[in-house]
Structure 1
Amino acid sequence: MKTAPLLENHNAPLVLLSGTLCNDRLWQPVTEQLNVSHVRCYSLNNADSAHALANELLDVLPLRFCLAGFSLGGIVALHMLALAPERIAKLALLSVNPFRDAPDNAERRRAAVREAANQGMTRWLTDTLWPRYVAPHRLNDTLLYRTVVQMAEESGLETLARQTEVAISREDHRQLLASFAAPTLILNGAHDVICTPQHHLAIAKAVPHARWITLPECGHFLPLEAPQQVANFMRNWIQESQS
C-alpha cells in the first residue's frame, strides 16, 4: 500500500531555511527521504539582518507553516518566531547558536569575508571552515566536501558578506520559546564545534517540551552528514503536528 505524502491536504507547508553559504543542495538528501508533498526551501541571501530576512519570508509565506532552520536559518527562524509565533505550526532547529554574537566578533567576521575575497571562496573555506564543519571521521569524505564547496561557490562572496552581518546583528529570542507550545525539535551533532551541545542545551532549557536529539557521529552539517537520521526525526516531528 502506497503511503500518502506527509502534509498532503495540509494548510501548513514545510519551510526549510538554509545556513551560511548554503542553498537547496543542503536539504535535498533529507527531502528525498521525507516524502513531503508541500515543501519550500529558502537560501538566506537577500538581506543583511535576521529581522529583515524574517520579515521578507513572512511576507511571502502562507498564514501557517511548519518551520525548520539550519544554523543561520535557525537564527532567522527564531526571529520569525519573535515576530509571528501564531503562524508557526511547529519548529525545528538544527545546529543552532541561540545567543547574541559577542561584540568583539564583528571585526573578526568581517575580516574573514575579506580573506575569502583575497584567497577565493574554495581555498578560504577549505583552510578555515571545512575542518570545523563535519565530524573528524568525515574530513576525507570527498563527496561531502564537494557538495559544501559547490554550495559556497554558488552562493558567492556578496552572500557571505550579507550573511556575516546577519550573524553579527542577531538577537537572543530564547525567552519566547517558553510560551511556544507547538511541537519543537532540536537536533545537533556531538562533534559540532560551531554550534556546540551547550548551545542546544540552552535552547532545550528554554523550551522544556521540545524533543532534543544529539547525533553522536555528526558535526555541524547534519542534513548532509546524516540525511536518513535527520529525515526520520523530522518525519516523526511532522506527524506529531498532525496528531
Structure 2
Amino acid sequence: MMTTLNNTHMPLVLIGGTLCNRRLWQPIVDQLALSAAICVELTGATTAEQVSQRLLSELPPRFLLAGFSLGAIVALQMIADAPERIAGLALLSVNPLADRPENATPRREAVRAAREQGLANWLSASLWPKYVAPSRLHDRELHAVICQMAEECGPDVLATQTEIAISRGDNREALAAATCPIIIINGLHDPICTPHHHRLAAESAPQATSVTLTQAGHFIVLEAPDEVAIPLRQWIQECLHATE
C-alpha cells in the first residue's frame, strides 16, 4: 500500500519496518520540506525479492529511497535489483545480513503468540523492551503510537513480514557497488539492528555517510525525529545536487 503525500518527478520513497505504517514517518516528513513522499507498507508478498519487484513495477522511473528496519532490508534488495532507478539510499536501523536458519522457528512461533495474545499485548511484553533506548521505556506516548501501528497492520501483515525477514538475503555486494549518495543511521541502544550490524553495512559502503544516535534505540525514526531529520535533509540535498 502506498500513500502519496505530494507529486514530483523525484519523490522520496519511505519503506517502514515490521508492523509499521505511515505514522512511522510523519514526524520526519513534516520536517524535511519535501515536494513529494511515498510511504510504502510491506504487504502482499513474502520475500524481499517479491516486494522489490512489485514496488519497482509501481514506482516512478527514478526516486530517492529510505528504509527502516525490515524496510531497509527491502531497500537493499531494490538497490541490488535496480541500482539505476535509485538516486539516493538511506538505511535506518539496518541489518544487512541474511537471517540465520535457526531463527525461522522462533519467528513463526512469535506470530502464533501475537495472534493468541493480541498484537498490543504481545508487542508490549516481547518487543517493546528491545524497541527503544532504556531512557524511553516509560514513554507512554511513544509506546501508544507503536502499538497503534501494530494493531492497524494486524496479525496477517505480521505473518507476511515475518516471512520476508526469514527469507532475506545478504545484499552487501550491491551496497558496495552503489554509486548514489548513501546514508546509514542507527541508534546506539539497538539490540535488534545492533551497532555491529551498522558497522557491517557502513564497511560495505565506505562511500556512505554513517551516523549513530547515541541516545536512541531501534525505533530511531520515532524516538529522535529531530536528530534523524538533520542528516536526512543533508542527504536529500546531496542526492538532488548529484542529479542536476
- TM-score (normalizing by structure 2): 0.95
Counterpart position of 1:208: 206
Counterpart position of 1:4: none
Counterpart position of 1:123: 121
How far the C-alpha of 1:94 sits from its partner, in A, is: 0.2
- Write out per-residue CA displacement over residues 8-44 of structure 1, whole angstroms, 9 at most, x where no aligned residue: 9963210000000000000000001111011100110
> Structure 1 117/201 Cα, relative in aligned 2: closer, same or farther at 3 Å?
same
Counterpart position of 2:57: 59
Counterpart position of 1:101: 99
Q: Distance in 2 between matches of 1:57 and 1:217?
A: 33
Gaps of 5+ in 2: 1-5
Q: Distance in 2 between matches of 1:65 and 1:185?
A: 15
Q: Distance in 1 between matches of 2:46 and 2:198?
A: 25
Is 1:233 matched up with 2:231?
yes
Match of 1:88 among 52, 77, 86: 86
Q: Distance in 2 between matches of 1:9 and 1:155?
A: 26
Counterpart position of 1:242: 240
Q: Distance in 1 between matches of 2:56 and 2:10?
A: 13
Q: Distance in 2 between matches of 1:26 and 1:172?
A: 25
- Write out per-residue CA displacement over residues 120-159 of structure 1, whole angstroms, 9 at most, x where no aligned residue: 1111000000000000000000110000000000000000
Give identity over the alignment, percent: 55
How far the C-alpha of 1:181 sits from its partner, in A, is: 1.3
Q: Distance in 2 between matches of 1:178 and 1:163?
A: 26
Counterpart position of 1:184: 182
Deviates more, 1:65-74 or 1:226-235: 226-235
Deviates more, 1:167-176 or 1:43-52: 43-52
> Structure 1 121/182 Cα, relative in aligned 2: closer, same or farther at 3 Å?
same
What is the total number of aligned residue pairs between the two structures?
A: 236
Counterpart position of 2:32: 34
How far the C-alpha of 1:45 sits from its partner, in A, is: 1.5
Secondary structure of 2:190's partner?
coil
Counterpart position of 1:170: 168
Q: Distance in 2 between matches of 1:12 and 1:180?
A: 18
- Does structure 1 retain, via aligned residues, the 8 Å contact 2:8–2:35? no
Q: Distance in 2 between matches of 1:181 and 1:80?
A: 14
Q: Distance in 2 between matches of 1:31 and 1:67?
A: 13
Q: Distance in 2 between matches of 1:95 and 1:39?
A: 20
Q: Distance in 2 between matches of 1:92 and 1:136?
A: 25
**Amino acid corresponding to residue 85 of structure 1 in structure 2:** P
- Write out per-residue CA displacement over residues 191-211 of structure 1, whole angstroms, 9 at most, x where no aligned residue: 000000110100111111100
- Quote the RMSD (CA, aligned, Å): 1.1
Secondary structure of 1:149's partner?
helix
Counterpart position of 2:196: 198
Counterpart position of 2:3: none
Secondary structure of 1:104's partner?
helix
Counterpart position of 1:132: 130
How far the C-alpha of 1:242 sits from its partner, in A, is: 2.2
Counterpart position of 1:71: 69
- Write out per-residue CA displacement over residues 195-228 of structure 1, whole angstroms, 9 at most, x where no aligned residue: 0011010011111110000000000001100111
**Amino acid corresponding to residue 235 of structure 1 in structure 2:** R
Counterpart position of 2:22: 24
Q: Distance in 1 between matches of 2:219 and 2:176?
A: 27
Counterpart position of 1:3: none
